Structure 1
């Protein structure tokens, strides 16, 4: 995937073709970079398995293999100048997209196996265990949002064109979009919750690493119980944001133009995050080294 990312960058430079409103090599570049982050994180998580490690190895191998198959199809379609996603214009294109759909489902199941094994494993650090498990669950939820994109839109039903499914909601794919991400600025875009959810796999553990680093200056964060509570708050807030972004996309509303209901919901999430963080930080604090102090022994009568 790292090599393919470099190849895609070269493609962006030497190939000026545009497909669905974006440079044709942008999609393989985004997917290659995403797979690099996804697979490296999953490989890092596999080291924490304390049981059924062989099954975890096979699940990780399946994820990597299905990712390769998907990228071969995406890159092959780019070379042909064709859409890889939602393309049913010819029997061959439809067959390729169906294979991609199967590989995505198998990849999701492989990640589910890893998540289940992580829940069944004994991880010494309570905060670390919580961060890894929450990240895995939210990653699965974010990946699952991708299946919503395969539904036929009302416009496609009314005017069949061989394209079944879309990233955007309420507007055609390929319209005005944000730089770099390509997310729609005129309608809803399911790629937003898909992206945010999948990368919880990295962001939740990274946030915990940040808390550990801050513990050098803030003694309170050295307490494992407080870190575990803060991770739980982060997970709840992240899940709420993921649900909010999915709701916004399904309503056909662009990310950068939220309405009053969206802003009110975001305000409630922010308030909940503040209250949850405050409550977590008010837990009894242990010694400066982060361990709980022993209770003084009662004198013997």
Structure 2
């Protein structure tokens, strides 16, 4: 009977997911598969990579973004209608224009980002820029409303707003890429008409040797690393909260809601620190795979601080009266976690 009730609760929770965002995530999955096939059969390359690689990566990333927001909105108990409209505008004004522009330019075999070669290319890039700004604003607005929700799980109550905040910071890194490089700024100052304005690499032109799959620069700094890491805090921190709740059934020290909430805050601090670290590394023209002593030292300090904070939280929890007995955390579907 208990298992049946849990299945019913789970179906009820998933049925409340935001429809347009859920359908958009499904469409992104189909597009990712289609572009992966294109990558296998189409031999064209652009800046050393297959022309269909970027649509694959963006379809996966935007699909995860849409799916996560669909779940978050589905858990809301207040301002549901407003959140529904914000999510729908996000699909129509941000996700679909963004991926359509990227796929369109990939089919043409030209760059989608920073491309001012022709009037069409400039228009496409401007559409992408406007969509990105709208996406940031919609995410911010949804974050405010989601942050004010009442939640049964205190860890998730921290994970969602902190994940959204770090994700917004990661999205903002994209705006740094649109600024002209020093060489481009000098050309613009001389009145030159440039075909490319902006770059994701720092210290070298775009298109150098890159890492497999991600394409991140191996010979220069790459702002896409911080953009990627920060953006996906939206998924990572809620998963941390869910993971801690599952682990609490086995480890009694995690049974307390306050303990799990504190660990989520520590994880958010560490994740934000990691985002800032890889951004600092890229802005110094340093590739992710070639950290210098300063970067390694900062990474070690961050890891040590996060470890010390987590250890302190667990130690304090273990010393609390009744911690040895522990209160069993009841099994609960994901839908009750927020």
TM-score (norm 2): 0.83
Number of equivalent positions: 291
CA distance in 2, matches of 1:166, 1:140: 20
Q: Give runs of ≥4 in structure 1 deviating > 6 Å.
A: none
CA distance in 2, matches of 1:119, 1:10: 40
- What is residue 144 of structure 1 aligned with on the other side? 172
Gaps of 5+ in 1: 292-301
TM-score (norm 1): 0.93
CA distance in 2, matches of 1:130, 1:137: 11
- What is residue 130 of structure 1 aligned with on the other side? 158
Q: Larger relative contact order (C-alpha < 8 A, sep ≥ 6)?
A: 2
Gaps of 5+ in 2: 1-27, 330-338
Find out whether 1:172 has 2:198 as its counterpart. no
- Residues 84-136 of structure 1, C-alpha deviation per residue, up to 9 Å, x if partnerless? 11001111111110111000000111111111001211112111110111111
CA distance in 2, matches of 1:274, 1:10: 43
Pick one of 3, 13, 17 that aligns with 2:44: 17
- What is residue 253 of structure 2 aligned with on the other side? 220
- What is residue 85 of structure 2 aligned with on the other side? 58
- What is residue 132 of structure 2 aligned with on the other side? 104
Give 3-state SS (helix, strand or coil) of 1:282's partner: helix
- What is residue 265 of structure 1 aligned with on the other side? 298
CA distance in 1, matches of 2:254, 2:284: 40
Q: Over the residues paired in the alignment, what is the CA RMSD in angstroms?
A: 1.4
After the TM superposition, which residues 269-288 of structure 1 pair with which residues of structure 2 at under 5 Å, given as runs? 269-284=302-317, 285=320, 286=323, 287-288=325-326
Pick one of 52, 55, 60 that aligns with 1:28: 55
Q: Between 139-148 and 209-218, report the one with greater CA deviation.
A: 209-218
Q: What's the offset of the Cα at 1:156?
A: 2.4
CA distance in 1, matches of 2:119, 2:73: 39
Give 3-state SS (helix, strand or coil) of 1:239's partner: helix
CA distance in 2, matches of 1:218, 1:123: 23
Q: Between 222-231 and 276-285, report the one with greater CA deviation.
A: 276-285
Q: Between 47-56 and 36-45, report the one with greater CA deviation.
A: 47-56
CA distance in 2, matches of 1:275, 1:142: 26
- What is residue 251 of structure 1 aligned with on the other side? 284
CA distance in 2, matches of 1:111, 1:81: 31
